[in-house]
Amino acid sequence: MDTSTLAGLQAIVGHDAVLTDPQDLQRCGVDRTSFWSPAPSVVVLPGSIPEVQQLVHLANRLGVALVPSGGRTGLSGGAVAERGEMVLAMNRMQRLLDFNPVDGTLTCEAGMVTARVQEHARDRGFYYPVNYAMVGTCQIGGNIATNAGGIKVIRYGSTRDWVLGLKVVTGAGDILEFNRGLVKNNSGYDFRHLFIGSEGTLGVICEVTLKLTRPPKDLCLLALGLRDFAAVLEVLRQFRQRLDLTAFEFFSQRALVSVKEHTGLPAPYEDPWPFHALVEFDQASGTEMAEARAVLQYCLEQGWVSEGVFASGPQQFRDFWRLREGISESLAKWTPYKNDLSVTVANMPDFMQAADVLVAERYRDFEVVWFGHIGDGNLHLNVLKPGQWPLEDFVAACSEVNRELVQLVARFKGSISAEHGIGLLKKDYLATTCDRREIELMRGVKRVFDPNGIMNPGKIFELTGPDGS
């Protein structure tokens, strides 16, 4: 980037908030995917909405593309800057702006780490329930930009369900405020929901107003060893009939072994089982533990569950959750090719059976690790790269199989992205989830908010279709 442009950026945000060191460019130009080489021209850290607006205006005048960047924990290449883009890192914008105890809302800047959002709510007697393994690193603006889900969706829903207001700077440089924290507002189109899940392609999310709820009462956690995947679904059905669950997560034995080796944590029980589940519930009425024990006994009698252990205290509760939340980190050394799939829970048994056959036939040379938020129909399939394989060959092999897997998802009317977004990784498969007319409408929406196409270009879809339209 030329010196005059750098001087212009420094005039907006200050000298120390413009980064050009190669290490900073590498660190801030990519998310947790490792299939692309980051190559941004500069990293800029705005400290206010007016600064974001000035940066967007400057980028439009210069024809420079912008990539908004949060905690960079994404898994779809949505925050990758590989074409000389300017990265807008939101790290300086992390202030708590307002807390409203009457309405139970919290307003903060988009760069606030999600764990801090949860802490602010907890310190004030409230609860922000959307939770993820990377909660200590990811930022709330990035959560909103990808409509992140996480481990509590079965009870609380995704990020979208907790966003009451947004203040954004569009790709055209306009500052817009959506919904203003209202619970009920039927005044025309609700553009807030266009920006939720937009992956930075329409503008920059700068401020957010979140709905809070009451904290759960006396959470309990049960670890289960199960004989097969069909048993996982039977057990889910039984527990959901009797309890209002806060989480139901599953993972394979291979995933458990990986986490144990990475963390040194013990398994909940001595014997290995093909699959494992974590069942979480609160004791709001005081009868839930008796119900849970009754359901567990029934599942043991049916042969679905081979072993079950309740977390005996706060430390074991945390350790059980670390066995699930540490999976992605423990697999990182294998450079996994990740799939983030969803189908309806009713279709899950047939889909999983068909997917298991496909994976066994087409991934014979690779280890495959299953885990996911099974209570809401979300499966994560991780294909591990053999150490001797060149990354380019591995990605090519997985991409070939992925076309078949995506077609299988389409046959079951599912989604190729349950919660991670589309980014670069899955944009070639978008047409299996959305038809041609939907994608063209998406392009039209982008042109309205980002007329010069500077916001995170190349993510989700290309601005022009295959025919140049």
Query: What pLDDT does residue 7 have?
Result: 96
The pLDDT tens digits of the residues spanning 49-79 come to 999 999 999 999 999 999 999 999 999 999 9
Which amino acid belongs to residue 38? P
360: exposed, middle or buried (Cβ count in 10 Å: 0-12, 13-18, 19+) = exposed
Q: What is d(CA 198, CA 191) in angstroms, rounded to the nearest whole number?
A: 11
The pLDDT tens digits of the residues spanning 76-100 come to 999 999 999 999 999 999 999 999 9
Give residue 133's pLDDT band: very low, low, confident or very high (50, 70, 90): confident
- Torsion of the alpha carbons at 396, 415, 327 and 315, rounded to the nearest 10: 170
- CA 32, 36, 39, 42 dihedral sign is negative
Give residue 467's pLDDT band: very low, low, confident or very high (50, 70, 90): very low
CA distances from 147 to 50, 161, 196, 300, 417 (A): 25, 9, 6, 37, 11
Class of domain 335-429 as given by CATH:
alpha beta
Average pLDDT value for the chain? 95
- The fraction of the chain above a pLDDT of 90, given in percent, is 91
The pLDDT tens digits of the residues spanning 350-400 come to 998 899 899 889 998 899 999 999 889 999 999 999 988 999 999 999 999
Query: What pLDDT does residue 284 have?
Result: 86
Give residue 349's pLDDT band: very low, low, confident or very high (50, 70, 90): confident
The pLDDT tens digits of the residues spanning 426-440 come to 999 999 999 999 999
Give residue 153's pLDDT band: very low, low, confident or very high (50, 70, 90): very high
Give residue 466's pLDDT band: very low, low, confident or very high (50, 70, 90): low
Structure tokens at 84: 């000389």
- Kindly tell me if the per-residue pLDDT of 469 is higher than 80: no
CATH topology of domain 220-328: Alpha-Beta Plaits (3.30.70)
* Contact yes or no for 160/196 (Cβ under 8 A): yes
Same CATH fold assignment for domains 220-328 and 335-429:
yes
Query: What pLDDT does residue 1 have?
Result: 82
- Kindly tell me if the per-residue pLDDT of 345 is higher than 80: yes
Residue for token digits 């006396």? 218
208-233 mean pLDDT: 95
For residue 195, how far is the Cα from the chain centroid?
15
Give me the residue spans of the domains in the chain.
96-211, 220-328, 335-429
Q: By mean pLDDT, which of 26-30, 279-283, 327-331, 372-376 is the weakest? A: 372-376
If phi > 0 it is left, if psi is from -120 to 50 it is alpha, else beta; for residue 453 that is left
- The fraction of the chain above a pLDDT of 70, given in percent, is 99
Architecture of domain 96-211: 2-Layer Sandwich (3.30)
Query: What pLDDT does residue 193 have?
Result: 97
